[in-house]
Amino acid sequence: MDISLIKMKIDEIEIRCVKLDLVNPFETSFGRFVDRHPIIVKLKSEGMVSYGEAPTLIGPFYTSETTESAFHILRDYIAPVIIRKEIKSPEDLHNRLSFIKGNYIAKSGIDTALCVMLAQERDESLSKFLGGNKDKIAVGVSVGIQRDEKGKMSIDKLVEIVGRYIEESYQRIKLKIKPGYDIEPVKAIRNAYGNVPLQVDANSSYTLSDIKIFRELDKYNLILIEQPLAYDDIVDHRKLQSKINTPICLDESIETLDDARKAIELGSTKIINIKLARVGGLYHAVLIHNYCQDKNIPVWCGGMVESAIGQSHAIALASLPNFIFPADIGPSERYFVDDFIRPFISLEKGYMNVPQKPGLGFEINEDFLEKATFKKVIIN
Ligand code: OSB
Ligand code: MG
């Protein structure tokens, strides 16, 4: 990211909590969701506007943050230190925010809006601004735990849904697993579809005492196992990695560049899921990407069912060279009944085009943004 000599005076910050209805419920080891509650941040600067997203969950189920906590941090701690200030670069922004401990998802809301604004000011696409060099990115799909009409977990339904995604040319399948729903779904997919690119995500639902399950999973040629153990652990992950062949890929445990460095040095992770919101936004996502590239650790771009605004930031990020494995980035129609971008972001044979227009590269539908909003504040 080139950080030379541009200055943006932030004239107005709009922070909105929005609700988006999902087309299908999304279930992981930490819960089942029928809608999403991210925060959309809109910045105004000298006649230009830009949009950021803090893709919070309604409760502290994935990380400790929530929609309300991020709204509070954005309104009461982030906005006051940047409103009517000249911001020179993403680095300058994060220096001003460094007094705020944690709260990475909240910070990503302002970071993404600012990066889009700076790219726009320089007449560059967000991808180019970040140092991206791909014009399309490979995408995979994260498939939640499936249930039948009676609410019982259903492997048959999972097999059917995965079949449809394979037909749609998704480049990799990721299955959500949890204790009691792990070997069986993996085995069923291998039996039905052979050696398709497959990985699993436990969202920190196991402990070291489950080693037998991981030894068993080791037989299925998985690309990786994502975040098997506690969200804040890197020591037990190292112990687990030393006992299995399948690469462990940390998600929840990596919130900073230092977390990445320590986990790599310890041998706790062989691949990193870089989720830009979880690491405080695009600036730190790029730093972690660069560090991992230097250490020969491949990365891929994770997602958290972002709106199209957040997906567009992720597409730009995933265009950087060390994003080796397919991304958890999806077309709007797979996730939401309606979304903020017109036309919907779409998928072509398992790839997404990286917009080359300046800034975000997509048009925002303000009418739907207003309709989806349940709480907002404007600071100027
Ligand atoms: O762990 O990767 C995760 C969604 C919300 C919170 C955490 C995770 C996820 C996903 C969604 O897996 C992937 C996607 O955006 O399609
Ligand atoms: Mg994950």
1 within a domain of the structure (yes/no): no
2 within a domain of the structure (yes/no): no
290 within a domain of the structure (yes/no): yes
Per mean pLDDT, which range of 156-165, 252-261, 296-305, 359-368 is the poorest? 359-368
Percent of the chain with pLDDT over 70: 98
In this prediction, residue 347 carries a pLDDT of 87
336 within a domain of the structure (yes/no): yes
CATH of the domain at 19: 3.30.390.10
Binned at pLDDT 50, 70 and 90, residue 61 comes out as: very high
Q: How far is the CA of 273 from the centre of ligand 2 (A)?
A: 7
The Cβ-side half-sphere exposure at 248, using a 13 Å CA radius, reads 32
Q: Report the mean per-residue pLDDT for the chain.
A: 96
Both 284 and 153 in a single domain?
Answer: yes
Both 369 and 330 in a single domain?
Answer: no
pLDDT in tens, 328-356: 999 999 999 999 997 777 788 999 999 99
The verdict on whether 371 is a catalytic residue reads: no
Average pLDDT over residues 158-187: 97
Percent of the chain with pLDDT over 90: 93
What does the DSSP 8-state code read for residue 307?
Answer: -
Q: How far apart are alpha carbons 30 and 33 in whole angstroms?
A: 10
Q: How far apart are alpha carbons 377 and 75 in whole angstroms?
A: 8
Amino acid code (one letter) for 185: P
Both 297 and 350 in a single domain?
Answer: yes
Residue 5 confidence (pLDDT) above 60: no
In this prediction, residue 342 carries a pLDDT of 79
Please indicate whether residue 201, judged by its CB atom, sits closer than 6 Å to ligand 1: yes
CATH of the domain at 342: 3.20.20.120
Both 139 and 232 in a single domain?
Answer: yes
Both 44 and 144 in a single domain?
Answer: no
Please indicate whether residue 305, judged by its CB atom, sits closer than 6 Å to ligand 1: yes
Residue nearest to atom 1 of ligand 1 (CA): 203
In this prediction, residue 16 carries a pLDDT of 98
In this prediction, residue 1 carries a pLDDT of 54
Both 143 and 29 in a single domain?
Answer: no
3 within a domain of the structure (yes/no): no
Query: What is the domain count for the chain?
Result: 2
In this prediction, residue 95 carries a pLDDT of 97
Both 354 and 370 in a single domain?
Answer: no
Average pLDDT over residues 147-176: 96
Please indicate whether residue 185, judged by its CB atom, sits closer than 6 Å to ligand 1: no
Both 253 and 218 in a single domain?
Answer: yes
- The string over 188-209, giving b where at least 16 C-beta atoms fall within 10 Å of a residue's C-beta and e elsewhere, is bbbeeeeeebbbbbbbbbbebe
The best mutation among 178, 229, 231, 304 to test binding of ligand 1, ranked by most ligand atoms within 8 Å of the C-beta, falls on 304
Residues 6+ apart with CB under 8 A from 173: 140, 141, 143, 162, 165, 166, 189, 196, 197, 198, 199
Residue 7 confidence (pLDDT) above 90: no
In this prediction, residue 4 carries a pLDDT of 55
Q: Which domain holds residue 93?
A: 8-124+365-379
In this prediction, residue 36 carries a pLDDT of 97
Other beta carbons within 10 Å of 340: 27
Both 58 and 173 in a single domain?
Answer: no
List % helix, strand, coil for the chain (3-state, nearest 5).
35, 25, 40
The verdict on whether 88 is a catalytic residue reads: no
Ligand 1 atom nearest 176 alpha carbon: 12
In this prediction, residue 2 carries a pLDDT of 52
Residue 141 confidence (pLDDT) above 70: yes
Please indicate whether residue 203, judged by its CB atom, sits closer than 6 Å to ligand 1: yes
Among the listed residues 38, 35, 12, the one whose alpha carbon sits nearest the alpha carbon of residue 375: 38
In this prediction, residue 3 carries a pLDDT of 52
Both 369 and 293 in a single domain?
Answer: no
Among the listed residues 227, 282, 206, the one whose alpha carbon sits nearest the alpha carbon of residue 63: 227
Please indicate whether residue 109, judged by its CB atom, sits closer than 6 Å to ligand 1: no
Average pLDDT over residues 17-39: 96
Both 348 and 369 in a single domain?
Answer: no
pLDDT in tens, 72-106: 999 999 999 999 999 999 999 999 999 999 999 99
Both 184 and 299 in a single domain?
Answer: yes
